[in-house]
Amino acid sequence: MKKELTLILGGARAGKSVLGERLAGEASRVLYVATAEAKDEEMARRIEAHRARRPQAWQCLEEPLDLPEAIAAYEGTFDLLLLDCVTVWTSNVMLSAPEGVDVEAEALRRTERLLRRYEDGDAAWVLISNEVGLGVVPPSVLGRRYRDVLGKVNQRLAAAADRVLLVVAGLALDMKALGAQQIDRDI
């Protein structure tokens, strides 16, 4: 499998994880990186559904925050890394930041470290993230801040990605193959 960075974007329940799992199924050695924590019953059910869908042969790394460091411990053991998902990871980064820290700068700093980990390795990566900027404006300051920070993280990942797949209602478009142009290189 050739080294390639794929970003899968889309709304909630659009089919992003299923597509990511299908892409990962083409690899012989998969590291599935899960960022969610079961802090309530509903999230516990979602996590269990994801676990049940995954092939037993896949390695699983459950890490909510320190992705580059945790992934480094698995280097050389996988041909493809499937990270599900950047959305939850960004939320974890924001909520763990000490008071007074610029959360956008912190999220982008961590995103750069994640991209360096990809560049330093030999495996293909598939990253899944929600496109939250297409919906209703969040009613809270924190919600709007989160939407903005995740939008910046997604832009940075899209700029670095070889492929960006936009998933809507179970249908995927390859944005870069369709000629999508990066708007701002200074993200």
pLDDT score recorded for residue 88: 95
- Look at the domain 5-174 and name its fold: Rossmann fold (3.40.50)
> In terms of Cα–Cα distance, which of 19, 145, 20, 2 is closest to 82?
20
Supply angle C-alpha 12, 13, 19, rounded to 5.
Answer: 110
pTM across the whole model: 0.92
Neighbours of 55 (CB within 10 A): 10
Residue 181 burial (10 A CB sphere; 0-12, 13-18, 19+): exposed
Mean pLDDT of 158-166: 97
Identify the H or E element spanning 42: helix 41-53
CA distance 54 to 38: 17
Averaged confidence pLDDT in the chain? 92
What pLDDT, in 10s, does the model give residues 18-28?
A: 999 999 999 99
Residue 46 among the catalytic residues: no
What pLDDT, in 10s, does the model give residues 31-54?
A: 999 998 778 888 788 878 878 888
Instruction: Return all residues near 57 (Cβ < 8 A) that are at least 6 apart.
Output: 30
pLDDT reading at 187 higher than 70: no
**Choosing from 3, 50, 145, 147, which is the catalytic residue?**
50
